[in-house]
Structure 1
Amino acid sequence: MGSGDGGLLKILFKNIDTNYLQTFFSLLHRSLPLNWSFLKTKVFSILGRRGPVCFHKRRKNLVLNLIKSEKVISYVSRVLTMNLLVPKNMRFECQRCARCCGDTSHRGRNLLLTKSEVEEISEKTGLSPLAFATPISNKGAYQYKMKKRGGKCLFLDGKACRIYDIRPLVCRFYPFSVCKKDNKYIFNFADDCPGIGLGEVLSEEVFEDLVTEAQFKLKTS
């Protein structure tokens, strides 16, 4: 769905806010959490992969039921009302240097883990949780920290991550961090990361994705 599809969406779903609909279809294309990959497959199978132009009444009603489900409404509404404060004209391109995967000469790095992340890593690797994670005294979402060998993450192999597809939230965020203050999500970045200043300027969508993924993961931990 592009920005020019707003009028068509308004005709097809005249009782639903157009901004909400455009965000819904945008999230489908981006395959965010909340099982969006599954939802995307389901919606596109209804659409026949040709977009809203091919709608007939039955198809429209099927998608309408999905759009109006309580969980989807809650999720899309959070994205629409998200208030971000992000670095302007921020460029970043990972250099695969693996500096973020452990301690450096001037900074120790704690790789914090949620309970659900520990369970997922354990399931995927076949290792017991205590083989790679240490419980910490924390009443928040982060209840473990990753064990290190020689100051580096146990799952670092040279400069490659052996659990990259299921890497923890703190790894997905790096070199960025976020805090919530006065209903705003404020992003900071690690200025010693060699990837900062390289590559294309990051869009606000990139930071939205990070926040929504964090919301989903921390809620389910």
Structure 2
Amino acid sequence: MIAEELPVARRGILFKCKLCGQKCCDHIPEISEEDLERIRKIHPSFKPYFSPEGRMILVGEKGYCLFLKNGLCTIHDYKPIICQLYPFYPVEKRILENLLELPEDVEIVTHGSNEYVFIFDEECPGIGEGKPVDFKSLLERFIRVKTFLKSPL
């Protein structure tokens, strides 16, 4: 995908999760201790898999998220924060400005001295339906989980 084609979230974009598992469950999520505690509320004996790097991930014997059954997330209300953020992903505005011309109505969220815009997976069937997205809340959750997982933003 070239930069001019990146889908950038605009103010007022709508989203509603369709609970379809079509796109969001194509990856193996890394989880935090907070995620683990939440999952254990409904699966008390759950033990995560540890990657060779020592990261907790949700992967089953078949190579995908072990909570994905018949194309649906069986822990939807308790799913990891990184999964809750899908289909949106924050990117520092200054980075995208170097790659493409941002639309005038782009959604910009400030955190500290940084400004962020959101790119998204436009193939997600929930885009364009439901309620306006609260990007400030999404960014706060993203920063919280990334800080905990010690991954750079």
Category of TM-score, reference length = shorter chain:
0.5 to 0.7
The count of corresponding residues between Structure 1 and Structure 2 is 123
Counterpart position of 1:41: none
User: How far 1:94 sits from its partner (Å)?
Assistant: 2.0
Match of 2:50 in 1: 134
CA contact (8 A) 1:119 1:129 kept: no
Taking only the aligned residue pairs, the percentage that are identical comes to: 27
Which structure's relative contact order is higher, taking Cα pairs within 8 Å and 6+ residues apart? 2
Q: Does 1:186 align with 2:117?
A: yes
Alignment of 1:1-221 (within 5 A): 86-103=9-26, 109-122=27-40, 124-130=42-48, 133-137=49-53, 143-148=55-60, 150=62, 152-180=64-92, 183-200=114-131, 202-203=132-133, 206-219=134-147
Q: Distance in 1 between matches of 2:13 and 2:81?
A: 20
Q: How far apart are 1:151 and its partner, in Å?
A: 5.3
Please identify which structure carries the higher helix content: 1
User: Looking at CA atoms only, which structure, 1 or 2, has the larger radius of gyration?
Assistant: 1
Point out where structure 1 has 5 or more consecutive residues left out of the alignment.
1-84, 104-108
Flag the 1:95–1:163 CA change in 2: closer, same or farther, 3 A. closer
What TM-score, normalized to structure 2?
A: 0.61
TM-score, normalised to structure 1, is: 0.45
Q: Any stretches of 5+ residues in structure 2 without a counterpart?
A: 1-7, 95-113
Q: 2:28–2:65: 8 Å Cα contact kept in structure 1?
A: no
CA contact (8 A) 2:24 2:87 kept: no
- Secondary structure at the counterpart of residue 112 of structure 1: coil
